[in-house]
């Protein structure tokens, strides 16, 4: 990854994500508190990724739905499953779709500008630092740490990103080809995040009873329109980490 690409990630993140959530309430009416999301995460042995969720470890894990962030968005769905092992975290995300919008052929690019699944892990609430992961239908990835300093989001990519510090990931496309512009019916991403990659974070190795804050997202760009989904409802910015839901490891 060239230094210019890293600068582009940081500058783009600061510009596009540097939004402040604005809340409003109708005078005389109580504001409605969003549902507090909780996902209970079961333990598993390590397993190979297939990219389509067909590994036996997923069989008895229910899907957790994500909600559209606007009523006039595309009529697709999005959902997630999660597991953890003694070495890392497994995330499976799936969504219906009609067109694959993904042209980027390298990792660490601005993947959020095309079709993407995302998840954010905030293991230690004593620090305003969390892990962000994005994956495209083509399997390109963006794993970064986010120091959220008073609403400024400065993404840092991992150093010595190799060996047992690297993620494992796979994607599959249903109903069409894995190429940009293809007509499809759905796509799925499966990711393994090793704890060793999360070493700068506190509380990074969960055990039964551990609680993390987290959120899951999807963005789709069909036909020049943008639709977003989230698990725990946030405002304009995906980086409103105080509104993240909670993972409870069993």
Query: Using one digit for the tens of pLDDT, what is the confidence trace for 57-110?
Result: 999 999 999 999 999 999 999 999 999 999 999 999 999 999 999 999 999 999
- The pTM assigned to this predicted structure is 0.87
> Is residue 16's pLDDT more than 90?
no
Indicate whether 43 belongs to any domain: no
Name the β-bridge partners of 149: 152
Residue 183 carries which DSSP code?
Answer: B
User: How many domains does the structure of the chain reveal?
Assistant: 1
Indicate whether 28 belongs to any domain: no
> Which one, of 74, 77, 81, 44, lies nearest residue 191 by Cα?
81
Q: Write the CATH number for 61.
A: 2.60.40.1190
Indicate whether 41 belongs to any domain: no
Name the band, by pLDDT with cuts 50, 70 and 90, for residue 153. Answer: confident
């Amino acid at each position: 990854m060239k230094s210019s690409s890293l600068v582009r990630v940081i500058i783009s993140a600061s510009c596009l994500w540097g939004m402040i959530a604005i809340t409003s309430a109708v005078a005389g009416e109580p504001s409605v508190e969003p549902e507090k999301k909780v996902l209970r995460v079961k333990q598993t042995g390590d397993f190979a990724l297939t990219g389509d969720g067909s590994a036996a470890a997923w069989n008895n894990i229910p899907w957790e739905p994500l909600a559209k962030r606007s009523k006039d968005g595309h009529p697709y769905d999005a959902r997630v499953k999660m597991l953890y092992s003694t070495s890392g975290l497994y995330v499976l995300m799936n969504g219906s779709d009609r067109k694959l919008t993904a042209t980027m052929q390298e990792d660490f690019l601005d993947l959020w500008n095309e079709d993407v699944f995302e998840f954010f892990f905030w293991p230690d609430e004593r620090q305003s630092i969390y892990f962000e992961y994005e994956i495209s239908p083509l399997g390109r990835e963006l794993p970064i740490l986010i120091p959220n300093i008073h609403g400024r989001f400065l993404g840092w990519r991992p150093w010595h990103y190799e060996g047992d510090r690297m993620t494992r990931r796979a994607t599959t496309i249903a109903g069409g080809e894995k190429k940009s512009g293809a007509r499809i019916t759905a796509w799925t991403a499966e990711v393994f995040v090793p704890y060793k990659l999360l070493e700068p974070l506190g509380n990074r190795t969960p055990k039964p009873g551990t609680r993390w804050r987290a959120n899951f997202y999807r963005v789709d760009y069909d036909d020049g329109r943008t639709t977003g989904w989230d698990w725990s409802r946030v405002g304009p910015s995906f980086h409103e980490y105080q509104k993240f839901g909670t993972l409870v490891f069993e």
